[in-house]
C-alpha cells in the first residue's frame, strides 16, 4: 500500500508537480493560491521563484516550458487577468515542456475583490480546464494536466477554489518521475507570433480544441455515477461533494475535465435521466454550453451565481429542506482589522484628519476602508491606486493637492511603477504614498524584489524604491517613519501642496514579521477625559467602557500611536505609571 498523507489542496498540487517531474515553479502570492509555491520550494531540485507579478510569472513559466522543462505557474483568479496577455498567445505557440497554470478562484470572496469565474479566461485562450474536487484529485490532476499539455501542445488551466486549496484530505503519495527537461529546439514559426506565423497557428488551436473535446469524452476525469433516473446532476469542482452529500440517490455526471465540454457524454447522460440539473459555483459556464446542445437543463434559475455553494443550499433548493434548527442571532460582527502595532494605522489616521481623497490598493491596508478609520475612497485591483488618482486629478483639477494614491511595497512593484511613470509623463500633481513594510504581509509575509531576499531566503540585490522613483522622473521623494505622526502629517501637507508628482515612502517593517514590540501602554484614569480620540485608531487593544478608555496589555504592542493621538497625555507606558 502506498503512503498516505493528509494535505491541503495547495500542498497536494505542489506534491503533484513534484511527482510529475516539474523543474520550474513560478507564482505571485495571492490567497487562496499562495501555499502551492511555498510547499513546492521545499522539494529538492525544483527552481521556485516569486515573480514580480502574475504576467511575469507566466512569462517566466513560458520561457522555462520552451526551454523544455515541465512547469507549474500559480496565481489567484484575478492574477489570471494580469497574466491574460501572455496566456492567450501562449495558446497559439503551445509548449515545449508541459505547463500547468493553476488559477485559484474565491467564491464567497473570503480574501478577494471580486469572485470572477476564471474558466472564462481558459475558454478565451482556448485551452483545457481541469477542476479537481478534493486534495487527492488536486494532486492527480496536476500529473494528468502536464501529460495533456505535452500531448496536445497546449497550456492547461487547473482551476482550484478556496474550498479545494484550503481544505485538507487524504492523498496517496506516488513516486516522482525523473526530472529530465526536454531539448530546447529553436522553432521561430511556432514561437514567434508575428502575424504571418500566428495566422498559421490559429487553425491549429481550433483543431486542437476539437481534439481536446474528443479526449474529454473518454477522459477518466469525467465519469457517470449512475443513480436514480429521476434526477441527473452535472457538476464539477467542490460542488460535486455538496451534490453527493445532499442528493445521495441522484445520478451524477462528474466533470473533472470540464472544458472543452464532452458534449457526447453529456448527451448520453441527459438521455438516461428525467430531469437534468447543473450545479456549478459562480457562472453558468457548463450550463450555457449544455443548453446550446439543445438539452433542457436547470441551473442558475435554481442556484445563485454569487457566493459559495454548500450541502445545505442544494438540500434546500432541490429537496425543499430547511437549513438547520438553531436560528442565527443578531450579534456583533468580528471583522478582520489592522493588527496591534501595524505600521499602516497611523498613516490612515493622518489621511483621514487631512480629509484627502485616498485612492487605495490591494493589501492589509485595504482594511483601513472599514470603520473607524474609513480612510479610503476606492480600491479596484493591484496597482490601481496610482492610475485612478491620476484620473481623478485629470478630470477635476481642483482635486490636485487633495488626492493621494496609497499602495504597499509589494503591490507597487507588482504594478505600481508603470502608472507612476504615467503620473510623471502627465506632470500631474499626484502624491503617491508607498507603505513599505518590507514584505507581502496579507498573504503571509512572502519576500519580494524590494526585500532583497528570495523565496528560499537567499540574499539578492534589493530594489531601491527611492532611486527607482527618482529614475522615472519623480523629483520629490520623501521617506518617513509612519509612527512619527507629526512628521508624517507635515510631509503629507508639503507634498500635497507641491503641485508636482511626489512620492512619500512610509517605511516601517511589519511587526508580525519582525516580532518587534515595546512594553504595553496604559490609560491614566484620572487624566482620561473620555474624548474617544484614541478609538479612532481602530486598535483592537483599546476599549471604551462608556466613560474612559482602557488598553488591553495582552494585545498592546507598545507602538505608542495612541499616546501620540491623546491630547490629555493620558496614555503612557506601563513602566511610567504612577510617576
Partner 1 sequence: MNNCKYDLLIAGAGGQGTILASKIISRVALAQDLEVKTAETHGMAQRGGSVVTHVRIGSRVYSPLIPLGDADFLLSFEQLEALRWLPYLSSRGTVITADLVMEPLPVLTGREEYPADALEQIKKAAHRTIVLDTGQAEPLRRNPRVLNMILLGILCPLLPFPRECWEEVIRETVPPRLLEINQAAFRYGLEYKAD
Residue bearing cell 512619527: 484
In a 3-state reduction of DSSP, which class is residue 254?
strand
21 sits in the region (left: phi over 0; alpha: psi -120 to 50; else beta) called left
Q: Which of positions 540-559 make contact with partner 1 (CB under 8 A)? A: 540, 542-544, 546, 554
Q: Which stretch binds partner 1 (CB under 8 A): 336-344, 403-411, 417-425, 560-568?
A: 336-344
Q: Binding residues for partner 1, how many (CB under 8 A)?
A: 56
The candidate with the shortest Cα–Cα distance to 381, out of 36, 30, 9, is: 30
219 within 8 A of 231, measured Cβ to Cβ:
no
Q: Which is nearer to partner 1, 195 or 335 (CB)?
A: 335
Site track for partner 1 across 13-42, x = CB under 8 A: ------------------xx----------
Residue 329 interacting with partner 1 (CB under 8 A): yes
Cα(279)–Cα(288) distance, rounded to whole angstroms?
12
Cα–Cα distance for residue pair 158/143, rounded to 1 Å: 11
Residue ranges in 179-252 assigned as alpha helix (H): 188-191, 195-218, 239-246
Cα separation, 575 vs 579, whole angstroms? 9
Among 323, 475, 487, 527, binds partner 1 (CB under 8 A): 323
Residues 160-199 that bind partner 1 (CB under 8 A): 163, 166-170
Indicate the residue among 333 and 569 with the shorter CB distance to partner 1: 333
How far apart are the C-alpha atoms of 394 and 416, rounded to whole Å?
Answer: 18
Contact between 272 and partner 1 by CB under 8 A: the answer reads no
Is the Cβ of residue 171 or residue 447 nearer to partner 1 in the bound state?
A: 171
Distances 239 to 8, 256, 432 between C-alpha atoms, Å? 17, 11, 43
Stretch that binds partner 1, among 144-152, 241-249, 381-389, 556-564 (CB under 8 A): 241-249
> Can you tell me which of 311, 378, 529, 564 binds partner 1, judged by CB under 8 A?
311
Instruction: Work out which of 232, 538, 558, 560 binds partner 1, going by CB under 8 A.
Output: 538
In whole angstroms, the minimum distance from the beta carbon of 457 to partner 1 comes to 20
> Could you say whether residue 529 binds partner 1 (CB under 8 A)?
no
**From 42, 45, 85, 110, residue interacting with partner 1 (rule: CB under 8 A):** 110
Distance CA 286, CA 278 (A): 8
Cβ atoms of 234 and 278 within 8 Å: the answer is: yes
Least spacing, CB of residue 160 vs partner 1, in Å: 13
Q: What end-to-end distance do the CA atoms of the chain give, in Å?
A: 70
Among 51, 154, 236, 241, binds partner 1 (CB under 8 A): 241
| Alpha helix segments (H runs only) across 406-517 | 409-415, 417-425, 465-471, 485-497, 511-514
Shortest separation between residue 147's beta carbon and partner 1, angstroms: 27
Beta partners for residue 506, in sequence order: 435, 480
Encoded one letter per residue, x for contact with partner 1 by CB under 8 A and - for no contact, window 194-233 reads ----------------------------------------
123 binds partner 1 (CB under 8 A): no
332 binds partner 1 (CB under 8 A): yes
Q: Compose the 337-356 pattern: x for residues touching partner 1 by CB under 8 A, - for all others.
A: xxx-----------------
Cα separation, 573 vs 504, whole angstroms: 30
Please, are residues 269 and 310 in contact by the beta-carbon 8 Å criterion? no
CB 326 to partner 1: min, Å: 5
Task: Give the separation between CA 30 and CA 448, rounded to whole angstroms.
Answer: 13
Q: Which stretch binds partner 1 (CB under 8 A): 114-122, 211-219, 467-475, 539-547?
A: 539-547
Task: Give the residue with the Cβ less far from partner 1, 217 or 312.
Answer: 312
Q: Cβ neighbours of residue 92 under 8 Å, at least 6 residues apart?
A: 193, 198, 201, 202, 204, 205
Positions that interact with partner 1 (CB under 8 A): 6, 8, 31-32, 110-111, 134, 163, 166-170, 238, 241-242, 244-246, 310-312, 315, 323-329, 331-339, 364, 366-367, 371-372, 442-444, 532, 535, 538, 540, 542-544, 546, 554
Amino acid at each position: 500500500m502506498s503512503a498516505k498523507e493528509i494535505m491541503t489542496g495547495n500542498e497536494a498540487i505542489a506534491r503533484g508537480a513534484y511527482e510529475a517531474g516539474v523543474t520550474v515553479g513560478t507564482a505571485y502570492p495571492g490567497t487562496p493560491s499562495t501555499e502551492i509555491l511555498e510547499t513546492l520550494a521545499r522539494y529538492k531540485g525544483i527552481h521556485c521563484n516569486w515573480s514580480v507579478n502574475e504576467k511575469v510569472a507566466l512569462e517566466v513559466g513560458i520561457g522555462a516550458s520552451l526551454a523544455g522543462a515541465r512547469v507549474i505557474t500559480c496565481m489567484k483568479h484575478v492574477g489570471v487577468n494580469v497574466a491574460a496577455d501572455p496566456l492567450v498567445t501562449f495558446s497559439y505557440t503551445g509548449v515545449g515542456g508541459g505547463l500547468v497554470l493553476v488559477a485559484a478562484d474565491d467564491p464567497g470572496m473570503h480574501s478577494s475583490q471580486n469572485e470572477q469565474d476564471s474558466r472564462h479566461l481558459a475558454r478565451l485562450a482556448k485551452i483545457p480546464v481541469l477542476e479537481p474536487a478534493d486534495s487527492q484529485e488536486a494532486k492527480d490532476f496536476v500529473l494528468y494536466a502536464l501529460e495533456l499539455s505535452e500531448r496536445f501542445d497546449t497550456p492547461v488551466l487547473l482551476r482550484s477554489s478556496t474550498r479545494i486549496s484550503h481544505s485538507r484530505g487524504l492523498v496517496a503519495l506516488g513516486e516522482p518521475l525523473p526530472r529530465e527537461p526536454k531539448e530546447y529546439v529553436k522553432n521561430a514559426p511556432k514561437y514567434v507570433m508575428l502575424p504571418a506565423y500566428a495566422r498559421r497557428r490559429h487553425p491549429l488551436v481550433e483543431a486542437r480544441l476539437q481534439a481536446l473535446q474528443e479526449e474529454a469524452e473518454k477522459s477518466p476525469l469525467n465519469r457517470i455515477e449512475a443513480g436514480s433516473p429521476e434526477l441527473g446532476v452535472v457538476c464539477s469542482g467542490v460542488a460535486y461533494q455538496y451534490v453527493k452529500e445532499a442528493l445521495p440517490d441522484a445520478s451524477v455526471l462528474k466533470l473533472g475535465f470540464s472544458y472543452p465540454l464532452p458534449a457526447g457524454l453529456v448527451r448520453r447522460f441527459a438521455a438516461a435521466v428525467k430531469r437534468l440539473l447543473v450545479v456549478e459555483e459562480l457562472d453558468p459556464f457548463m450550463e450555457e454550453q449544455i443548453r446550446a446542445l439543445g438539452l433542457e437543463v436547470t441551473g442558475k434559475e435554481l442556484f445563485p451565481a454569487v457566493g459559495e455553494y454548500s450541502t445545505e443550499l442544494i438540500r434546500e433548493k432541490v429537496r425543499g429542506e430547511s437549513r438547520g434548527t438553531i436560528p442565527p442571532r443578531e450579534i456583533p460582527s468580528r471583522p478582520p482589522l489592522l493588527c496591534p502595532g501595524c505600521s499602516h494605522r497611523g498613516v490612515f489616521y493622518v489621511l483621514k484628519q487631512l480629509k484627502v481623497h485616498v485612492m487605495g490598493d490591494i493589501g492589509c491596508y485595504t482594511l483601513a476602508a472599514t470603520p473607524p478609520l474609513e480612510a479610503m475612497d476606492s480600491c479596484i485591483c493591484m496597482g490601481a491606486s496610482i492610475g485612478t488618482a491620476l484620473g481623478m486629478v485629470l478630470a477635476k483639477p481642483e482635486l490636485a493637492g487633495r488626492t493621494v494614491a496609497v499602495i504597499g511595497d509589494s503591490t507597487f512593484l507588482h504594478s505600481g511603477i508603470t502608472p507612476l511613470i504615467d503620473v510623471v509623463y502627465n506632470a500631474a500633481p499626484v502624491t503617491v504614498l508607498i507603505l513599505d513594510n518590507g514584505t507581502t504581509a496579507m498573504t503571509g509575509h512572502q519576500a519580494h524584489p524590494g526585500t532583497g531576499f528570495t523565496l528560499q531566503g537567499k540574499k539578492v540585490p534589493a530594489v531601491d524604491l527611492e532611486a527607482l522613483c527618482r529614475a522615472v522622473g519623480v523629483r520629490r521623494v520623501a521617506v518617513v517613519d509612519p509612527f512619527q505622526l507629526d512628521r508624517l502629517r507635515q510631509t503629507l501637507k508639503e507634498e500635497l501642496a507641491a503641485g508636482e508628482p511626489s512620492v512619500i515612502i512610509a517605511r516601517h517593517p511589519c511587526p508580525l514579521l519582525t516580532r518587534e514590540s515595546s512594553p504595553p501602554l496604559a490609560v491614566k484614569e484620572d487624566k482620561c477625559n473620555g474624548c474617544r480620540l484614541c478609538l479612532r485608531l481602530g486598535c483592537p487593544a483599546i476599549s471604551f467602557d462608556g466613560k474612559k478608555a482602557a488598553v488591553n496589555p495582552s494585545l498592546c504592542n507598545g507602538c505608542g500611536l495612541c499616546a501620540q493621538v491623546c491630547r490629555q497625555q493620558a496614555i503612557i507606558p506601563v513602566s511610567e505609571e504612577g510617576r
